[in-house]
Protein backbone atom coordinates (compact mmCIF):
# COMPACT_ATOMS: atom_id res chain seq x y z
CA UNK A 1 0.00 0.00 0.00
CA UNK A 2 1.29 3.45 -0.90
CA UNK A 3 1.46 5.43 2.32
CA UNK A 4 2.22 8.87 0.84
CA UNK A 5 0.46 10.86 -1.88
CA UNK A 6 1.26 9.68 -5.37
CA UNK A 7 1.20 13.32 -6.37
CA UNK A 8 4.98 13.08 -6.43
CA UNK A 9 4.92 10.54 -9.25
CA UNK A 10 3.66 12.21 -12.35
CA UNK A 11 5.98 11.68 -15.32
CA UNK A 12 4.25 11.03 -18.63
CA UNK A 13 6.40 7.97 -19.32
CA UNK A 14 5.34 6.30 -16.10
CA UNK A 15 1.69 7.10 -16.62
CA UNK A 16 1.81 5.40 -20.02
CA UNK A 17 3.39 2.32 -18.45
CA UNK A 18 0.84 2.03 -15.68
CA UNK A 19 -2.09 2.47 -18.02
CA UNK A 20 -0.99 -0.76 -19.71
CA UNK A 21 -0.29 -2.79 -16.59
CA UNK A 22 -2.19 -1.59 -13.54
CA UNK A 23 -5.42 0.42 -13.90
CA UNK A 24 -5.49 1.30 -10.19
CA UNK A 25 -2.10 2.98 -10.19
CA UNK A 26 -2.79 4.49 -13.60
CA UNK A 27 -6.06 6.03 -12.42
CA UNK A 28 -4.55 7.47 -9.26
CA UNK A 29 -1.50 8.75 -11.11
CA UNK A 30 -3.75 10.32 -13.74
CA UNK A 31 -5.80 12.00 -11.02
CA UNK A 32 -2.70 13.38 -9.33
CA UNK A 33 -1.14 14.45 -12.61
CA UNK A 34 -4.22 16.52 -13.41
CA UNK A 35 -4.16 17.94 -9.91
CA UNK A 36 -0.52 19.00 -10.21
CA UNK A 37 -0.99 20.36 -13.70
CA UNK A 38 -3.74 22.61 -12.44
CA UNK A 39 -1.90 23.46 -9.20
CA UNK A 40 1.78 23.71 -10.07
CA UNK A 41 2.57 25.42 -6.76
CA UNK A 42 2.46 21.97 -5.12
CA UNK A 43 5.28 20.62 -7.29
CA UNK A 44 7.94 21.71 -4.84
CA UNK A 45 9.89 18.49 -4.16
CA UNK A 46 12.16 17.72 -7.14
CA UNK A 47 13.59 14.66 -5.39
CA UNK A 48 10.28 12.83 -5.70
CA UNK A 49 10.62 12.59 -9.46
CA UNK A 50 13.06 9.75 -8.76
CA UNK A 51 10.29 7.59 -7.29
CA UNK A 52 9.37 6.50 -10.81
CA UNK A 53 11.42 3.28 -10.73
CA UNK A 54 10.23 2.45 -7.23
CA UNK A 55 6.61 2.77 -8.28
CA UNK A 56 7.17 0.59 -11.32
CA UNK A 57 8.51 -2.06 -8.94
CA UNK A 58 5.40 -1.75 -6.77
CA UNK A 59 3.28 -2.07 -9.88
CA UNK A 60 5.05 -5.28 -10.91
CA UNK A 61 4.66 -6.67 -7.39
CA UNK A 62 0.90 -6.29 -7.71
CA UNK A 63 0.84 -7.97 -11.11
CA UNK A 64 2.95 -10.86 -9.78
CA UNK A 65 0.67 -11.33 -6.76
CA UNK A 66 -2.38 -11.38 -9.02
CA UNK A 67 -0.84 -13.99 -11.32
CA UNK A 68 0.31 -16.08 -8.35
CA UNK A 69 -3.16 -16.15 -6.81
CA UNK A 70 -4.91 -16.98 -10.07
CA UNK A 71 -2.45 -19.83 -10.64
CA UNK A 72 -3.64 -21.41 -7.37
CA UNK A 73 -7.45 -21.17 -7.50
CA UNK A 74 -7.77 -23.65 -4.62
CA UNK A 75 -6.86 -20.75 -2.34
CA UNK A 76 -9.59 -18.51 -3.77
CA UNK A 77 -12.68 -20.60 -4.28
CA UNK A 78 -13.80 -21.82 -0.86
CA UNK A 79 -15.80 -20.04 1.83
CA UNK A 80 -12.72 -19.51 4.02
CA UNK A 81 -11.05 -17.60 1.20
CA UNK A 82 -14.05 -15.31 0.92
CA UNK A 83 -13.89 -14.51 4.62
CA UNK A 84 -10.13 -13.93 4.60
CA UNK A 85 -10.19 -11.74 1.49
CA UNK A 86 -12.80 -9.45 3.03
CA UNK A 87 -10.85 -9.34 6.28
CA UNK A 88 -7.64 -8.50 4.44
CA UNK A 89 -9.19 -5.71 2.38
CA UNK A 90 -11.05 -4.23 5.34
CA UNK A 91 -7.88 -4.14 7.46
CA UNK A 92 -6.01 -2.35 4.66
CA UNK A 93 -8.77 0.20 4.04
CA UNK A 94 -9.42 0.98 7.70
CA UNK A 95 -5.73 1.24 8.58
CA UNK A 96 -5.09 3.59 5.69
CA UNK A 97 -8.16 5.72 6.39
CA UNK A 98 -7.48 6.10 10.11
CA UNK A 99 -3.76 6.78 9.69
CA UNK A 100 -4.22 9.30 6.90
CA UNK A 101 -6.96 11.15 8.77
CA UNK A 102 -4.40 11.69 11.53
CA UNK A 103 -2.10 13.35 8.99
CA UNK A 104 -4.47 15.63 7.13
CA UNK A 105 -1.97 18.49 7.26
CA UNK A 106 0.38 16.50 5.05
CA UNK A 107 -2.28 15.92 2.40
CA UNK A 108 -3.73 19.40 2.63
CA UNK A 109 -0.21 20.75 2.13
CA UNK A 110 -0.33 19.12 -1.29
CA UNK A 111 -3.74 20.59 -2.08
CA UNK A 112 -5.66 17.37 -1.39
CA UNK A 113 -8.73 16.45 0.59
CA UNK A 114 -7.56 13.47 2.67
CA UNK A 115 -10.85 11.59 2.86
CA UNK A 116 -11.69 12.21 -0.78
CA UNK A 117 -8.27 10.97 -1.88
CA UNK A 118 -8.44 7.88 0.34
CA UNK A 119 -11.93 6.95 -0.83
CA UNK A 120 -10.83 7.25 -4.44
CA UNK A 121 -7.92 4.92 -3.67
CA UNK A 122 -10.18 2.47 -1.81
CA UNK A 123 -12.75 2.40 -4.61
CA UNK A 124 -10.17 1.73 -7.30
CA UNK A 125 -8.32 -0.83 -5.20
CA UNK A 126 -11.54 -2.67 -4.40
CA UNK A 127 -12.40 -2.69 -8.09
CA UNK A 128 -9.11 -4.41 -8.88
CA UNK A 129 -9.26 -6.93 -6.02
CA UNK A 130 -12.70 -7.91 -7.30
CA UNK A 131 -10.95 -9.42 -10.31
CA UNK A 132 -9.10 -11.85 -8.05
CA UNK A 133 -11.02 -12.44 -4.82
CA UNK A 134 -14.36 -14.22 -4.86
CA UNK A 135 -15.97 -11.75 -2.47
CA UNK A 136 -15.20 -8.10 -1.80
CA UNK A 137 -16.58 -5.38 0.43
CA UNK A 138 -19.53 -3.33 -0.74
CA UNK A 139 -17.77 0.01 -0.44
CA UNK A 140 -20.34 1.67 -2.71
CA UNK A 141 -22.85 1.32 0.11
CA UNK A 142 -23.02 4.74 1.86
CA UNK A 143 -23.08 2.91 5.18
CA UNK A 144 -19.49 1.75 4.62
CA UNK A 145 -18.23 5.33 4.37
CA UNK A 146 -20.27 6.31 7.42
CA UNK A 147 -18.64 3.53 9.41
CA UNK A 148 -15.18 4.66 8.32
CA UNK A 149 -15.92 8.21 9.44
CA UNK A 150 -17.33 6.95 12.72
CA UNK A 151 -14.13 4.98 13.32
CA UNK A 152 -12.13 8.16 12.67
CA UNK A 153 -14.18 9.95 15.34
CA UNK A 154 -13.61 7.15 17.84
CA UNK A 155 -9.91 7.06 17.05
CA UNK A 156 -9.67 10.81 17.68
CA UNK A 157 -11.43 10.34 21.02
CA UNK A 158 -8.94 7.61 21.94
CA UNK A 159 -6.09 9.99 21.21
CA UNK A 160 -7.75 12.71 23.29
CA UNK A 161 -8.11 10.31 26.22
CA UNK A 162 -4.41 9.54 26.03
CA UNK A 163 -3.61 13.26 26.15
CA UNK A 164 -6.01 14.00 28.99
CA UNK A 165 -5.04 14.53 32.62
CA UNK A 166 -7.45 11.92 33.96
CA UNK A 167 -6.17 9.40 36.47
CA UNK A 168 -5.01 6.07 34.94
CA UNK A 169 -8.12 4.18 36.07
CA UNK A 170 -10.46 6.65 34.36
CA UNK A 171 -8.29 6.71 31.23
CA UNK A 172 -8.31 2.93 30.96
CA UNK A 173 -12.06 2.75 31.52
CA UNK A 174 -12.67 5.30 28.75
CA UNK A 175 -10.28 3.44 26.47
CA UNK A 176 -12.13 0.16 26.99
CA UNK A 177 -15.44 1.75 26.03
CA UNK A 178 -13.97 3.42 22.95
CA UNK A 179 -12.10 0.32 21.81
CA UNK A 180 -15.32 -1.67 22.16
CA UNK A 181 -17.13 0.94 20.05
CA UNK A 182 -14.36 0.82 17.44
CA UNK A 183 -14.46 -2.99 17.33
CA UNK A 184 -18.23 -2.85 16.96
CA UNK A 185 -18.01 -0.55 13.93
CA UNK A 186 -15.26 -2.70 12.43
CA UNK A 187 -17.28 -5.88 12.87
CA UNK A 188 -20.39 -4.22 11.44
CA UNK A 189 -18.43 -3.15 8.36
CA UNK A 190 -17.11 -6.69 7.94
CA UNK A 191 -20.57 -8.23 8.26
CA UNK A 192 -22.11 -6.01 5.60
CA UNK A 193 -23.37 -8.08 2.68
CA UNK A 194 -20.38 -8.59 0.36
CA UNK A 195 -20.29 -8.47 -3.42
CA UNK A 196 -19.65 -11.75 -5.22
CA UNK A 197 -16.73 -11.29 -7.59
CA UNK A 198 -13.63 -12.91 -9.08
CA UNK A 199 -12.50 -13.48 -12.63
CA UNK A 200 -13.47 -16.60 -14.53
CA UNK A 201 -10.56 -19.01 -15.01
CA UNK A 202 -10.75 -21.64 -17.74
CA UNK A 203 -9.60 -25.15 -16.94
CA UNK A 204 -7.27 -27.10 -19.24
CA UNK A 205 -10.18 -29.21 -20.52
CA UNK A 206 -12.19 -26.07 -21.32
CA UNK A 207 -9.25 -24.55 -23.14
CA UNK A 208 -8.91 -27.60 -25.41
CA UNK A 209 -12.61 -28.24 -25.92
pLDDT digits (tens, 9 = 90+) for 141-194: 999 999 999 999 999 999 999 888 889 999 999 999 999 999 999 999 999 999
* Residue 12 shares a structural domain with residue 114: no
Least Cα distance to 99 among 152, 144, 28, 163 occurs for: 152
Q: Which domain holds residue 49?
A: 1-71
* Residue 95 shares a structural domain with residue 51: no
**Rg of the chain over all Cα atoms, to the nearest angstrom:** 20
Q: How far apart are CA 109 and CA 56, in angstroms?
A: 25
* Residue 63 shares a structural domain with residue 82: no
Residue 195 confidence (pLDDT): 93
Percent residues over pLDDT 70 in the chain: 66
Which residues are bridge partners to 195 per DSSP? 136
* Residue 80 shares a structural domain with residue 60: no
* Residue 202 shares a structural domain with residue 168: yes
94 Cβ contact list (under 8 Å, min separation 6):
148, 151, 186, 189
Residue 188 confidence (pLDDT): 97
Amino acid sequence: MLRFPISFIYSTKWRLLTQKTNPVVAEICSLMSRHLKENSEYQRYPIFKYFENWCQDENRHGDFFSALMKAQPQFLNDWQAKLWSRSFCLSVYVTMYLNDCQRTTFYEGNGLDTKEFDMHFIIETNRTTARIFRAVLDIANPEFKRKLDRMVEINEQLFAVGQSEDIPFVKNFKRILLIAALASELLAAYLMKPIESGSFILTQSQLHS
